[in-house]
Amino acid sequence: MKKSTFIDSAKDVLTIEAAAIQDQIDTLDESFEQACQKILECEGRVIVTGMGKSGHVANKIAATLASTGTPAFFVHPGEASHGDLGMITPKDLVLALSNSGETPEVLTILPIIKRMGVALIGMASAEQSTLAKISDVFVKVVITQEACPMNLAPTASTTASLAMGDALAIAVLNARDFNEQDFARSHPGGSLGRRLLLYVEDIMHCDDQIPLVRDNALLSDALVEMSGKKLGMTGVVNDAGALLGIYTDGDLRRSLAENITLDTPIIEIMSKHPITVGADVLAAELVALMKNHRISSILVTDNSKVVGALNMQDLLRAGIL
């Protein structure tokens, strides 16, 4: 095939699948609302099932539901007949996918599910199918043409089913007032989860790692402390441990420009009233604070006592930046 033919073929497929999604928009009705309400009212988990290509779509829909506030998982209908039905409880809800609505492996387990009193949402293209008739709520996925030139391989039908599953998940998400913090709790390993779940206390340096000198120290002492702790600064504290000031790499450059000697008392050249942060502040909020004040290092305090320290490199390593 010529490259142009490949592109023409791809355009045809994308056009057909885009039309399949548009068809779902044009035919949405009260059955979709009923399905959303059933999911919202479910006291257990949403069990999503399907065979073959519909099974792959069902697996993804279950994952999307679970990550957007609706406890859900996928059960293979073939395995369900051999013991996995034990995963389903009367408080659960089953969402069954089948393009034809006549998939034998799916239909085999549905009577058992109904006897358990489990609510059933069916999703198929055939309104007169067995799945449609047995379902408490039936959501029709309108399919007029597969992208396959033989109209056989599931293509537009799986795209439409997947889009309908996404529509269910997001409609329910909106009804639950699911927010970024809720999403982060389901995705602690992702960048959003790190930004919304990590606090200053989770990434700050503590105890002996905190760069600190007493108020009677000299500039030379402060430089030794700064070099040893590698945070680009040191705090200056009094006998009681209260923070009096800070001396940073920027202060050092200014000291060199003014020909200040190493035996200068640090209290004379430190920056007084430094910007500090509490340990219970979100790390993402700290980023904004440091950027606004154009600082790269900061001390963490509790009632004027220094309890931690960190810099932009710590935020970078934690995946906040």
pTM, to two decimals: 0.64
Q: Which residues does 92 contact at the CB level (< 8 Å), separation at least 6?
A: 42, 44, 45, 46, 47, 118
**Percent of the chain's residues with pLDDT above 70:** 93
Residue 152 has pLDDT above 90, yes or no: no
Q: Which CATH superfamily is domain 200-317 in?
A: CBS-domain (3.10.580.10)
Check residue 198 and give its pLDDT. 80
pLDDT over 90, % of the chain:
71
Helix (H, G, I), strand (E, B) or coil at 92: coil
Q: Where are the domains of the chain?
A: 3-178, 200-317
Q: State how beta strands 137-140 and 93-97 pair.
A: unpaired
Q: What is the pLDDT of residues 281-302, one digit of tens each?
A: 988 888 889 999 999 999 999 9
Instruction: pLDDT band for 183, please (50, 70, 90 cuts).
Output: low
Q: What is residue 248's predicted lDDT score, i.e. its pLDDT?
A: 94
Neighbour-count burial of 278, counting CB atoms closer than 10 A to its CB (0-12 exposed, 13-18 middle, 19+ buried): middle
**In this model, does residue 191 exceed pLDDT 70?**
no
Of 177, 198, 176, nearest in space to 187 by CA:
198
Measured CA to CA, the distance from residue 278 to residue 301 in angstroms comes to 6
Residue 309's alpha-carbon distances to 23, 190, 225, 232, 243, in angstroms, are 57, 25, 13, 10, 12
Are 104 and 59 in contact by the 8 Å Cβ rule? The answer is no
Task: Choose which CATH entry (3.40.50.10490, 3.30.230.10, 3.50.50.60, 3.40.50.300) describes domain 3-178.
Answer: 3.40.50.10490
Distances (CA, A) of 189 to 168, 181, 318: 25, 13, 11
